[in-house]
Amino acid sequence: MDIPKTYDPQQAEERHYARWEAQHCFAPKINRDPHAPVYSIVIPPPNVTGSLHMGHALQHTIMDVLTRYHRMRGYRTLWLPGEDHAGISTQIQVEKQLRKEGLTRHDLGREKFVERVWQWREEYGGQIIKQMRREGASVDWSRRRFTMDENLSRAVREFFVRMYEKGLIYHGEGMINWCPKDQTALSDLEVEKEAQSGQLYYLQYPVKGGGRRVTVATTRPETMLGDTAVAVNPNDERYRDLVGATIELPLTNREIPLIADEYVDPEFGTGAVKITPAHDPNDYEVGLRHNLPQVEVIDAHARMTEDAGAEFAGLDRYEAREKVVAKFAELGLLEKAVNYEFSISKCGRCRTVIEPLVSTQWFLKQAELGRSALELIKEKHEPRFVPEVPYEKVFTNWLENLHDWTLSRQLWWGHRIPAWYDEAGNVYVARNEDEARAQAGTNQLTQDPDVLDTWFSSALWPISTLGWPDATQDLKTFYPTSVLVTGRDIIFLWVSRMMMTGLEFVGEKAFDDVFITGTIFDKHGQRMSKSKGNGVDPLDVFDKYGVDATRLVLAQMESTDTRWNDTQVEAYRNFANKIWNAARFCLLNSEGATVGQGFEGEPATWALHERWIMSRLNQTAQKVGDAIENYRFHEAVQTIYHFFWDDFCDWYIELSKTDVTAADATTERAAARSRVLTVLEQALRLLHPFMPFITEELWLQLPGVGVSQLHPAYRDAEPTVMLAAYPQARAELIDERAEAEMQSVIELISRVRSIRSELGIKPGEEIELLVGPARNGQSGVFTPGVMAQVMRMTRASKFSVKEAMTPDVVPRASARAALAGGVEVAVPLGGLIDFAQERERLRREQEKLHTESERLAAQLSNQNFVERAPAEKVTELRQRVADIAQRTHALEQMQEALTAE
């Protein structure tokens, strides 16, 4: 058999994914058990314009681990893939494309433009979804969904109409966030606050009659052109006499009132605030309270309007700012300008500074819709957030403070608002135009030109992908979904809204659990971003280290923010190679062997290392299954890693080598080989959810694997490790005594190796071992079989068990060590030994024990400890003290023996 010494991930990855997909292993229907429990996940739909980044890879890894684990446990498992239509982003992409042809969307017209967008999606869209094959994501491709699919669009209209009928959606005027670049309204959540250092300008406004001036402070002087009042706090003594006065607004020929409103904080600035109801959310509210006119001085392109005055009309808002400030300075009305830190709102997509504008839009009263979600989280703690702290609280706080959601977007790509207007401007909201006509009693209707926020359709994702508004079998089977895995940035934007729609329309929560992943930063702790160019491309990492290794790193991050570091991936690449070579050893020595055999009969009849590895394996299975089910992926990964490398490779394979590599093809050799293969096969199953490719690559090569290893639910399927039963711990094979005994064997071997190393005995040089005293129970572990193993592992040519380790049996020129449980070991060294050096070595050993013993003694002499600590704790410490005393005594004797001439 020819197996390369180094694992090549790439060639395995493609082959197996294609095969799994062809055999429909990812679809729930592969499960033939009609009573199988259900496990379902819907993917957070990535933006159709995007490509895979580390955040996706992280989320997908966790979803895939959960999916593969539950599938192997026999669940009817669905992981549903798809993407959203990303209204603004997609439209921008396509417009960019058109611009290269010298066209705008208006040249094409709406219908042709939308056609172009669909074309674009076919050609360039859904990159991430395609890249998921590379990740090994076991998604059901037959159920791939897109928010613009016909049924999902129908769900959107249904959502809209029902909310309108309930009075939760309304059409009206409000202060909205407007992006002057993208030319659309945005919801609060699509706006990002950014710290800004700028200036606070103190402007003086003359009071009509009497020559007084009122000073107002502002960061946006250009908006003064649209001021319709100056406000002060009604209790502010400084201005009390001026309330009701008239201000002559500079640079305009308008006169505005000085009003009193509680909103004004007398402590801040000058205590007098300019009020621009058309361009500031707070001023808008003040304006409504005082019936102030709204003077629009900035237009949708963030340029000054005619109403700003002839001098300013047409200027950009920032040019206007400079000019206003200059004019005030000229007039002697600029009191001062001071440096000032404040925050500005930017478009989450294009980073353009938002312009607050008064506009007529569609809104959803989220507060009412969110009430049942709020009750559920507060009363039943559902869904269960992982980690619970701090996300349950964050989520609850959000639901308690819901504002109306601006739904309409001035775009062409998206779900068009199902509202029609007649010639008189009356609005009819309906599921389709025919219904609207019926309502209106006329055919002369025009549909609202706007589309809905992309998140409006995403809000329905768990139910619409499963068939809602129809009561489909999928909806019945897979809803509520088992878990939602996502990043913390969209808890409000998305998670909360899915909870709301699920409860509203299906009457059940959208998911049992919500797992929030951490954020991956670059190695300097900076957030990865395209603009900074510091992103690590997961595909590059896959190429360099393999998908399995990358997944292992991602899985163990759990919810912790982490700086990306290639060395971790390299470590797991090395682990993959270790697995490969362990399997290589097993396969190169597999003649006559069969997986699943070799462990016949009573465990009591097995050799110590067999009982031990089976105990370790079952402990591991227990711990790993438990860890995965509780989202403790780090623990799961560490546990398997440790089992595979330390227990299986370093000890079990090494201890089995003599039997496995025996020259003669005896039944004993075949049995030993089968046992090693059996443990390997179980380990591969344990690893599979994390490392799907290498486990499949190796598993298929093991002699004797087939349908009998598959979970009973998949009996009709082709053999594959992904449908094998996930190992369940067998309690009867967990053997504490075997583990303790093995521990003393390991200790003996380690101590002898230590002696070799510390005394500089050449690796090739053979030594002799004396172990005793034999009357002590512990040394009974050293059966002839174990002795042979110890000799092999320490390169010893002789191993004698002695009744007593007295000077007459142990040569003076020996290196010695005192082990736990009273066992002593001596390595006779003849003339090679340096007596002084060996004495020093023993003395250091004794010193270590002494330090520990001192600490224990202090603890045990504390009355309070003995009385109040749990009895078992006290007993444990006493035993340790006794053991240390015994070893210390042994060390003393050894030193004496060395000294005796």
Site for RNA in 563-622 (CB under 7 A): 563, 565, 567-568, 570-571, 573-574, 576-578, 581-582, 584-585, 588
- Per the structure block, which two tokens stand in for 572? 């797991």
User: Which residue lies nearer to RNA by CB, 132 or 627?
Assistant: 627
What's the CA gap between 105 and 110, in Å, rounded? Answer: 7
- The angle that helices 633-642 and 608-629 make with each other, rounded to 10 degrees, is 170
- Single out the segment in contact with RNA by CB under 7 A; choices: 5-13, 622-630, 678-686, 773-781: 5-13
* Spatial contact of 769 and 798, defined as CB atoms under 8 Å apart: yes
CA angle 244, 250, 254 (to 5 degrees): 60
For RNA, which residue of 74, 126, 271, 625 counts as binding (CB under 7 A)? Answer: 271
For RNA, which residue of 342, 375, 707, 708 counts as binding (CB under 7 A)? Answer: 342
Q: 658 to 697, contacts with RNA by CB under 7 A? A: 661
Minimal distance, residue 269 CB to RNA, in Å: 3
For RNA, which residue of 1, 5, 197, 424 counts as binding (CB under 7 A)? Answer: 5
Burial tier of 867 (Cβ tally within 10 Å: 0-12, 13-18, 19+): exposed
Q: 62 to 101, contacts with RNA by CB under 7 A? A: none
- Per the structure block, which two tokens stand in for 75? 């669940």
What's the CA gap between 737 and 600, in Å, rounded? Answer: 20
Q: 816 to 875, contacts with RNA by CB under 7 A? A: 852, 859, 862, 864-865, 868-870, 873
Residue 521 in the binding site for RNA (CB under 7 A): yes
Give φ, ψ of 716 to 5 degrees.
-85, -5
Q: 185 to 244, contacts with RNA by CB under 7 A? A: 188-189, 193, 216-220
User: Which residue lies nearer to RNA by CB, 42 or 653?
Assistant: 653
User: Which residue lies nearer to RNA by CB, 733 or 755?
Assistant: 755
What's the CA gap between 395 and 608, in Å, rounded? Answer: 53
Minimal distance, residue 211 CB to RNA, in Å: 24
Question: Which amino acid type is present at position 443?
Answer: N
- Single out the segment in contact with RNA by CB under 7 A; choices: 165-173, 174-182, 674-682, 746-754: 746-754
Torsion of CA 847, 853, 858, 864, to 10 degrees: 160
Give φ, ψ of 207 to 5 degrees.
-90, 135
β-strand pairing of 562-563 with 520-521 = parallel
Instruction: Count CB atoms within 10 A of the CB of residue 632.
Output: 18
Residue 653 in the binding site for RNA (CB under 7 A): yes
Rg (CA), the chain: 37
What's the CA gap between 699 and 714, in Å, rounded? Answer: 17
Q: Is the C-alpha dihedral spanning 421, 422, 426, 431 positive or negative?
A: negative
With DSSP H G I counted as helix, E B as strand and the rest as coil, what are the percentages for the chain, rounded to 5? Answer: 50, 20, 35
What's the CA gap between 171 and 163, in Å, rounded? Answer: 12
For RNA, which residue of 307, 311, 626, 635 counts as binding (CB under 7 A)? Answer: 635
Minimal distance, residue 578 CB to RNA, in Å: 5
Residue 264 in the binding site for RNA (CB under 7 A): yes
- Per the structure block, which two tokens stand in for 849? 């024990």
Minimal distance, residue 404 CB to RNA, in Å: 12
CA-CA distances (angstroms) from residue 437 to 420, 441, 821? 9, 6, 92
User: Which residue lies nearer to RNA by CB, 438 or 588?
Assistant: 588
Residue 758 in the binding site for RNA (CB under 7 A): yes
What's the CA gap between 211 and 662, in Å, rounded? Answer: 110
Give φ, ψ of 273 to 5 degrees.
-120, 130
Q: Which of 402, 391, 397 is nearest to 489 (CA)?
A: 391
User: Which residue lies nearer to RNA by CB, 480 or 703?
Assistant: 703
Q: 440 to 479, contacts with RNA by CB under 7 A? A: none
Q: 392 to 411, contacts with RNA by CB under 7 A? A: 393-394, 397-398, 401
Residue 43 in the binding site for RNA (CB under 7 A): no
- Single out the segment in contact with RNA by CB under 7 A; choices: 274-282, 317-325, 681-689, 713-721: 274-282
Residue 551 in the binding site for RNA (CB under 7 A): no
Minimal distance, residue 218 CB to RNA, in Å: 4
User: Which residue lies nearer to RNA by CB, 372 or 859?
Assistant: 859
Residue 11 in the binding site for RNA (CB under 7 A): no
Minimal distance, residue 217 CB to RNA, in Å: 5
Residue 775 in the binding site for RNA (CB under 7 A): no
Return the DSSP state at 78: E
For RNA, which residue of 174, 281, 309, 785 counts as binding (CB under 7 A)? Answer: 281
Burial tier of 214 (Cβ tally within 10 Å: 0-12, 13-18, 19+): buried
- Single out the segment in contact with RNA by CB under 7 A; choices: 77-85, 652-660, 697-705, 720-728: 652-660
What's the CA gap between 606 and 616, in Å, rounded? Answer: 15
Q: 282 to 321, contacts with RNA by CB under 7 A? A: 282
- Single out the segment in contact with RNA by CB under 7 A; choices: 90-98, 146-154, 749-757, 776-784: 749-757
Question: Which amino acid type is present at position 781?
Answer: V
Return the DSSP state at 236: -
Which helix or strand (DSSP H or E) is residue 203 part of?
strand 191-206
DSSP codes, 127-194: HHHHHHHHHT----GGG-EETTSHHHHHHHHHHHHHHHHTT-EEEEEEEEEEETTTTEEE-GGGEEEE
Residue 265 in the binding site for RNA (CB under 7 A): yes
Minimal distance, residue 815 CB to RNA, in Å: 13
Minimal distance, residue 264 CB to RNA, in Å: 4
Minimal distance, residue 565 CB to RNA, in Å: 4
β-strand pairing of 255-260 with 814-818 = unpaired
User: Which residue lies nearer to RNA by CB, 125 or 221?
Assistant: 221
Residue 523 in the binding site for RNA (CB under 7 A): yes
Q: Which of 282, 290, 281 is nearest to 260 (CA)?
A: 290
User: Which residue lies nearer to RNA by CB, 319 or 522?
Assistant: 522
- Single out the segment in contact with RNA by CB under 7 A; choices: 89-97, 115-123, 560-568, 888-896: 560-568
Q: How many residues form the binding site for RNA (CB under 7 A)?
A: 92
Q: 879 to 898, contacts with RNA by CB under 7 A? A: 880
For RNA, which residue of 60, 116, 143, 274 counts as binding (CB under 7 A)? Answer: 274
The half-sphere exposure of 46 on its side-chain side, counting CA atoms within 13 A, is 22
Minimal distance, residue 860 CB to RNA, in Å: 10
User: Which residue lies nearer to RNA by CB, 390 or 777?
Assistant: 390
User: Which residue lies nearer to RNA by CB, 442 or 754?
Assistant: 754
**Contacts with 564 (C-beta within 8 Å, 6 or more apart), sequence order:** 54, 520, 521, 522, 523, 528, 536
Minimal distance, residue 634 CB to RNA, in Å: 5
Minimal distance, residue 580 CB to RNA, in Å: 8
Q: Which of 304, 262, 251, 256 is nearest to 279 (CA)?
A: 304
User: Which residue lies nearer to RNA by CB, 144 or 488?
Assistant: 488
Residue 268 in the binding site for RNA (CB under 7 A): yes
- Single out the segment in contact with RNA by CB under 7 A; choices: 129-137, 142-150, 260-268, 804-812: 260-268
What's the CA gap between 469 and 47, in Å, rounded? Answer: 23
* Spatial contact of 500 and 369, defined as CB atoms under 8 Å apart: yes
Residue 544 in the binding site for RNA (CB under 7 A): no
* Spatial contact of 271 and 239, defined as CB atoms under 8 Å apart: yes
Minimal distance, residue 174 CB to RNA, in Å: 13
For RNA, which residue of 763, 784, 830, 831 counts as binding (CB under 7 A)? Answer: 763
- Single out the segment in contact with RNA by CB under 7 A; choices: 171-179, 277-285, 497-505, 736-744: 277-285
For RNA, which residue of 104, 119, 443, 560 counts as binding (CB under 7 A)? Answer: 560
Residue 163 in the binding site for RNA (CB under 7 A): no
